Chains A and B, each alone.
Chain A
Amino acid sequence: MSKTVLSVDHVGMKFNLASEKVDDLKDYVIKFLKRQLMYKEFWALKDVTFEVKKGDRVGILGLNGAGKSTLLKCVAGVLKPTEGKITTKGVIVPLLELGAGFDKQYTGAENIYLYGAMLGYSKSFIEEKYKEIVKFSELGDFINVPVKNYSSGMKSRLGFSIATIVEPDILILDEVLSVGDAKFRKKSEKKIKSMIDKNVTVLFVSHSIDQVRDICNKAILLEQGHLVASGDVEDVIAIYESKISEN
């Protein structure tokens, strides 16, 4: 029950902000020779350490630019931290910007297979769940239309339906609870709630304190890349709210 499924160990993520963008070889050579290649270092995350136990639902709080999304991307494996180590156990499903992996010229049906493969599903698994995905997305006949003709709501509905078809061990949510119209939003909220009920571990980023309170039992607070508080959701929210009123 209290197995650690995610441990973030002294993680730091450094970005080089080029003071001037160097994009081509000529510029690079000239700047290199003149010793003008200056980078401003920027630590989006610095020395962040925390652990998540199985079944915990952790809200990640912080103002804009605190490093929340960077942290999620590190956990999802998209970014590799500059220092420190992240260990995860089990299947991670990241619900970050839905439908970003779609090919515009492909139809919805073809994209189900492509996006599914990208998330690491097997062919037989997708075939088995295909109908369920189509049904949940409510796309109907539009499933055979190229995605370039989809509205943004349709795209994220399809993305959401594909990503949530598995039963993940760790679910990463980056403010995706606002998918599609009011009707679909209700449905997606219900789906996520049902996943949470199955003892899934959740990492949840939101600016809405009510949502965090509703879903999470634990929380961490980030400020300019540093971890300032972690613990029970109510305690952390109290700290967060006092920080906001300070400003």
Chain B
Amino acid sequence: MKRLFKNFLKYRYLLRELIKKDIKLKYRRSYLGILWTLLEPLFTMMVLTLVFSGFYGKSDKTFPVYILTGRLLFTFFSNSTKAATKSIRSNAGMIKKVYVPKYIYPISTICSNFIFFMISLIVLVAVALVLGVYPTKYVFLAVVPILNLLVMTLGVGLMLATFSVFFRDMEYLWGIVLTLIMYCCAIFYEPKRVIKTGFGWILEINPLYWVIENFRDAVFGRPLDMRAFAFSTTFACVTLVLGIFVFYKQQDKFILNI
């Protein structure tokens, strides 16, 4: 354990460099650069609002905020798990030549995605203020679902990174699973409508749905839903422990398979 920690300290600078690289290269040579981190969610929000409230003739003024809260969280989860899945294979060249702790690759891509996510929260704040969703004392509780989401993503990302070394199909399979998860997150519809039809259990078994619910509680000024909190926290911790376990068990075999 102590050796692990010392090793981490030694490669702390590499972790920073890798995160910096992701961020620097993502928008290099595009004219608007990092501004895209703000524009992309804003435009998707407009499209989704147009489709799901305009076409259905809903008149809730705060609906864009509702959509944005769900979408931002889901996009972070989706982007970073997808990147983590590929992380070991896309860094194969380095893994084969230089010794570096391998967990640094999935973790650095998740961290850089997390930074993009934090930046994109600016859009949420702006849209919420414009549409009259003002922060209450509950807004500080947004830290809880965000932390849960990060822990969950790290766990899932480590597992996916490991599996995809042995089965290339994982990348494509995970893309499909993500679509499924997206539709089960109540991003652009209200959970009431699903619960009414008797399919509420689909939301109930989806930890990401609970995270989003907790986040919405904080944004819309409601106290934290304790059931959602308990469920998502347990899930997050279990996946992280499992992810670390699986990764450590298999990491020495990576090089034989990439």
Contacts and interface: CB of A to CB of B under 8 A. Distances in A.
Interface residues of B, number: 27
Query: Per DSSP, are chain A's interface residues mostly helix, strand or loop, or mixed?
Result: loop
Contact of A117 (B14, B93, B256): B14
A118 B167 contact: no
A197 to B, nearest CB: 26
A16 B256 contact: yes
A118 B252 CA distance: 18
A111 to B, nearest CB: 10
A113 B13 CA distance: 10
Given A25-B167, A78-B99, A105-B28, A120 B94 contact: no
B100 A118 contact: yes
A192 B130 CA distance: 65
B255 A118 contact: no
Contacts of B96: 78, 100
A105 B25 contact: yes
B94 A118 contact: yes
Interface of B: 10-11, 13-14, 16-18, 21, 24-25, 28, 93-100, 167-170, 173, 252, 255-256
Given A26-B169, A117-B16, 20 more contacts: A16-B256, A24-B167, A25-B169, A25-B170, A28-B167, A76-B98, A78-B95, A78-B98, A94-B97, A97-B97, A100-B96, A100-B97, A100-B98, A103-B25, A114-B17, A117-B17, A118-B14, A118-B94, A120-B11, A120-B14
Contact of B93 (A15, A101, A105): A101
Contacts of B28: 105
A78 B97 contact: yes
A16 B100 CA distance: 23
Interface in A109-164: 110, 113-114, 117-123
A209 interface: no
A122 B16 CA distance: 11
A106 B99 CA distance: 21
A74 B96 CA distance: 11
Contacts of A16: 256
Given A25-B167, A79-B255, A117-B13, A106 B97 contact: no
Contacts of B99: 76-78
A176 B21 CA distance: 28
Interface in A51-83: 76-80
A5 interface: no
Given A24-B169, A78-B255, A96-B97, A123 B25 contact: no
A96 B95 CA distance: 12
A31 to B, nearest CB: 13
A123 B13 contact: yes
A23 interface: yes
A237 B10 CA distance: 40
Interface residues of A, number: 30
A170 to B, nearest CB: 13
B95 to A, nearest CB: 8
Contacts of B94: 100-101, 118
Contacts of B169: 24-26
- Nearest first, the 6 A-B pairs at minimum CB distance are A77-B99, A117-B14, A100-B97, A117-B17, A80-B252, A24-B169
A23 B98 contact: no
Contact of B168 (A23, A96, A113, A119): A23
Contacts of A96: 97
A28 B96 CA distance: 25
Contacts of B97: 78, 94, 96-97, 100-101
A118 B21 CA distance: 13
A101 B252 contact: no
B98 A94 contact: yes
Contacts of A123: 13
A100 to B, nearest CB: 4
A222 B153 CA distance: 46
A79 B170 CA distance: 25
A25 B174 CA distance: 13
Nearest to A99: B97
Contact of B98 (A24, A101, A103): A101
A118 B99 CA distance: 8
Contacts of A119: 98
Contacts of B170: 25
Nearest to A94: B98
A120 B99 CA distance: 9
